[in-house]
Structure 1
Amino acid sequence: MFSSFQRSSAERRVRLPYYVLWMAISICIQDLQINCQFHTVPDMAADAYLSRCLTLSGLLNADDPTPSFITLLKFPSLQRLSINLLCNGIPLTMDPVHFWRDFSDMHEFFRLLNLSRFIPLRSSYSWIDWRLTFDLIKDTLYHRLDVSRISASYRFRLQLWFDELPLMSRLRFRYPGLYADDSLCPNCGIFMETLEHFFTCLPDSLSIIDHASPPVSTRTKLIDLLDQFVRRLAKKASASPKARLDFNSLLLQLQSLPTIGLASLRNYSDHLTFTGLWFLRGFIPRDLSSLIMSSSGLSRRDSSNIIIRYFLKLHREIYHQLWRPRCKMKSLKDKAMDVTPALLRTIKSSDFTNFRYDTSPVNFFSTNESLSPLQVFEWSSLGIFWTHSAVIRGTNWLNNLSDFLKSRTVLVRFKVLAYWIVG
């Protein structure tokens, strides 16, 4: 499959399934100067790794559609071949069973990125550290076994990662009878509240009416939080015994990284774009991980742990200092409009009862049509069912996640999938 991708033209590559996955692997091979090729194994039974791989056939779950290693070996172009490269450029020197499970999870992860909501990433695949991003979302999902009690801050992180925050620009479609004519930011009351505006909102102090609940200078606070984030990274990396840069030199480079967006935020104006949006959603840029690893002299694993630790801290601070105050302003706005939680629940229940699914056949990998946001349940209850189902059934959590997002992104064929659809 990957060999076929390498032989394809640029025009044909973008039409292949899992285009982003193959491009990520290709970039790793080029950057690390790895001579990646498939090696024929003359005697499969005598090969220690492939013999171990045969045990995979007895470990598969009927509910897990991920192809087995046996299936791969029987594929015409890959018969009796072994894969010797993982997505992060590390050769196959580990237990093949562990390797294949990890590779299958990564495969499912990149299936999600074929959905229409992630199309903008197709032009930016090379600047994302996919391995670190993958580890970050796994940490978000499985921070505890009892996922039914997921905290509000973790739920916020999932909503942000999948661009599902209940912002006014979304609620106007979710509740057309309540917010159709008012999608303005509850903080400033001037601009439409999109995700970028949420991070860059800077209310005019002269327009403050209610001094008991003054608006939050989101942009100013976010600049402070991002500055604290890069300072923590610089301090930790420069304190390494193998550090190649001092604190000030490393801090200057971190502050100037366009993918983090600190410089972009400081010079932000209405005609500019905030460049750190994908980073704040949880897509870690490669230049950040490369800079920390090269400047600190630490291994990739240790550098990744440092980045993940401080990034999760950054997300917690954004939740408490930016998102919760915004939700308070939204609550005051609802109260002034006589919109109560009971009214929202009533509307959603009614819409869910009357909703009818499209019955036309759907190809999940070729369609880019998106559903309008559905009025079913608050996203605050989301992520619980499919992750909890994965724990109970012992199935692959990414399969459940993939099924859920398909129902959000494409037209669903069967009504039996109704419990996957959430708004």
Structure 2
Amino acid sequence: MASAWIALDDDGFILESSSLHLPSCFPSALRSEIYAVLLGLNALSHDSSIFIYTDCSHLISLWTRFVDSPFSPKLLREPNHLLWLSIRQLIMDHNLTVDLNKVPAHADDIYNIQADSLAKDAHLSLQPTVSPLAFCYAPCLLTFNSLPIDMNIRHFFRSIADARALLSFCSLARFTALGSPSLFDWAGIYFCLSQIKGFASHKDGRPEFWIFRIKLLLDMLPTLTTLQQRKPYLYSSDWLCPQCNSAPEDLNHLWTCPYILPDLNPCLTHRSEIIKFRDSCLSSFLSLKPLDITFQTKFSALDCWNYESPSPSCLWLTRGLLPVHLTTFLNQHFPFSVIYKYISSLLNDFQVALYGEIWLCRNVLFHAWEESQGISTASKLRGPSINSSSIAISPQNHNSSLATVSQDSWISWISSSIIRVDYGSHTWIFCAA
């Protein structure tokens, strides 16, 4: 970020000019304009009267609010309030008379063009950046890590608290067990979390999908493996997936379970939704600007779209953990703000499909299996006891699964125990019990 100003006498001759490479904290075009005014005022002698010409109408409107008007504490809530306070202090201390005038932007004004050129040269030069505190004349100055806080103080402290919370969040053992935190784009993950909009279920208005997304991210969904850890007196540790009876039912198994019904195949459904997610991302980004076939080929070849195995990064993405290689690749063509905006929306749609097409269906079947094992709602609410412990280790129930149960015996139960709900383009089933 850079700033520049030119001083003219009454006859239009250039008396002095200056340009400066500015601190990059809180960068903005408006901040550069305000800095130029502040630096110009600082070069004036006492009791001077000047006319300032600028092509920034926003600067003039804010000048009217923050300089020409009496001081108001509301100024402290505004961005760049330290610069405005410094300008007020300079005008008062040096007894300056200042009048701002608007010049048309891009109107071939020779002095405006020269000032812009000076600022660009300063931005590209290797001159040292001055300290952010060098031109602060505000009577009261708050700093953080030796940097002035030039924004709404409450918002600043909130952002610090959010940053610390995010640092603690990404350091959780459930994430570090997957690998280095650098494997994930935590800024993107935070953005996606902040965009979650829960919708109400048919029954009691709870945001069921919001809860699903959070538990999916944290690996807290009540899979059989999780229940075996929480309630070992009800769920035997050697029980396998109730649907396929071929592997433990953990979070990743939800998307790779080979259990097959005419309208239910978790593995194929997950693959189909990953492909749809990938193609939707590709279409969305290609709609922003034309990119050659190389971009499409490389994007589709990213490891996070490898649904065959599936790859670890594909399973991370399913959970809502954005792999850094995905956003880094897209950042070669798009800013992160655009990437997060589109990825967040499409990730939501992807997980909506997983919720309706896999998770809710699995819950219905899992509930049927629990009843076949004698695990009732009442037994879940009770603590461990001799009677309840016998449920989990009963030889009669051991290794029982839906894969070995006659379809007629539980399809009739499903038909009487669920209702259908339409949500957009999705039709979902909900357990009514």
**TM bracket (short chain):** 0.5 to 0.7
- Confirm or deny that 1:303 pairs with 2:339: yes
Residue 308 of structure 2: aligned partner: 266
Larger radius of gyration: 2
> Helix, strand or coil: the match of 1:140?
coil
- Confirm or deny that 1:115 pairs with 2:143: no
**Residues 358-377 of structure 1 aligned to structure 2 (within 5 Å):** none
Residue 41 of structure 1: aligned partner: 133
Residue 215 of structure 2: aligned partner: 159
Please say if residues 170 and 186 of structure 2, whose CA atoms lie closer than 8 Å, have aligned partners that are also in contact: no
Query: Between the two proteins, what is the percent identity of the paired residues?
Result: 20
1:125 to 177, 181, 187: 181
Give the gaps of 5 or more residues in structure 2. 1-126, 386-433
Residue 58 of structure 1: aligned partner: none
Q: Which amino acid aligns with 1:288?
A: L
Q: Which amino acid aligns with 1:257?
A: L
Please say if residues 313 and 323 of structure 2, whose CA atoms lie closer than 8 Å, have aligned partners that are also in contact: no
**Residues 392-407 of structure 1 aligned to structure 2 (within 5 Å):** none
2:329 to 277, 282, 291: 291
> Helix, strand or coil: the match of 1:195?
coil
Distance in 1 separating the partners of 2:129 and 2:232: 55
Question: What displacement does 1:283 show?
Answer: 1.5
TM-score, with structure 2 as normaliser: 0.52
Residues 299/96 of structure 1: CA separation in 2 closer, same or farther (3 Å cut)? farther
Q: Which amino acid aligns with 2:181?
A: Y
Please say if residues 244 and 294 of structure 1, whose CA atoms lie closer than 8 Å, have aligned partners that are also in contact: no
Residue 276 of structure 1: aligned partner: 314
TM-score, with structure 1 as normaliser: 0.53
**Residues 9-408 of structure 1 aligned to structure 2 (within 5 Å):** 39=131, 41=133, 46=137, 51=141, 54=142, 73=144, 78=145, 81-82=146-147, 95=152, 97-120=154-177, 123-140=179-196, 149-203=205-259, 216-240=264-288, 242-245=289-292, 249-258=294-303, 260=304, 262-263=305-306, 265-268=307-310, 274-295=312-333, 298-347=334-383
Q: Which amino acid aligns with 2:133?
A: V
Aligned CA RMSD, in angstroms, stands at 3.5
Residues 216/38 of structure 1: CA separation in 2 closer, same or farther (3 Å cut)? farther
Please say if residues 198 and 209 of structure 2, whose CA atoms lie closer than 8 Å, have aligned partners that are also in contact: no
Question: What displacement does 1:243 show?
Answer: 3.0
Q: Which amino acid aligns with 2:332?
A: S
Give per-residue Cα distances to partners, 1:194-223, cap 9 Å, x unaligned.
Answer: 1122222223x6xxxxxxx67942221111
Question: What displacement does 1:299 show?
Answer: 3.7
Greater share of helix: 1
Residue 209 of structure 1: aligned partner: none
Residues 345/37 of structure 1: CA separation in 2 closer, same or farther (3 Å cut)? farther
Question: What displacement does 1:181 show?
Answer: 4.2
Question: What displacement does 1:187 show?
Answer: 2.0
Distance in 2 separating the partners of 1:167 and 1:101: 36
Give per-residue Cα distances to partners, 1:374-422, cap 9 Å, x unaligned.
Answer: xxxxxxxxxxxxxxxxxxxxxxxxxxxxxxxxxxxxxxxxxxxxxxxxx
Q: Which amino acid aligns with 1:326?
A: R
Q: Which amino acid aligns with 1:103?
A: I
Give per-residue Cα distances to partners, 1:102-157, cap 9 Å, x unaligned.
Answer: 23202111112333222225x4333322211111122237889xxx9542111111
Relative contact order higher in (CA < 8 Å, ≥ 6 apart): 1
Q: Which amino acid aligns with 1:323?
A: W
Residues 250/42 of structure 1: CA separation in 2 closer, same or farther (3 Å cut)? closer
Question: What displacement does 1:346 show?
Answer: 2.7
Give per-residue Cα distances to partners, 1:244-286, cap 9 Å, x unaligned.
Answer: 335xx4443233211x2x32x3145xxxx64322222212123
Q: Which amino acid aligns with 2:347?
A: F
